[in-house]
Amino acid sequence: MREKHFDPEADSEESFAICALLHDICKAGFYKPGTRNVKNPQTGVWEKKPYYTIDDSYPYGHGEKSVFLVERFMRLKTSEAIAIRWHMGG
């Protein structure tokens, strides 16, 4: 991916690292551990199993939320914000 999208003349190693490390920061605190009841097929007994629930306390788009959260702590270049915003395609 780096070879395909990284232009050493226009992009810095720092920008590439920022986008790679922070593009999914919106997932921090998004999944909460819990349990759910699942029927054991061998015994027919209901058992508690670990399960993750979604706690979307700030319902904003995936890429948009990552840009918003990063920019609360550091300023992104326009190209970095666009890369993070559209990292899922679109």
Q: Which pLDDT does position 2 carry in this prediction?
A: 65
Instruction: Let me know if residue 15 belongs to a domain.
Output: yes
Domain housing 15: 2-85
What single-letter DSSP state applies at residue 18?
H
Residue 11 has pLDDT above 90, yes or no: no
Q: Which pLDDT does position 9 carry in this prediction?
A: 78
Global pTM value: 0.76
Number of domains in the chain: 1
* Contact in structure between 77 and 15 (CB atoms under 8 Å): yes
Instruction: Let me know if residue 20 belongs to a domain.
Output: yes
Instruction: Let me know if residue 90 belongs to a domain.
Output: no
Instruction: Let me know if residue 81 belongs to a domain.
Output: yes
pLDDT in tens, 25-81: 999 999 999 999 999 999 999 999 999 999 998 888 899 999 999 999 999 999 899
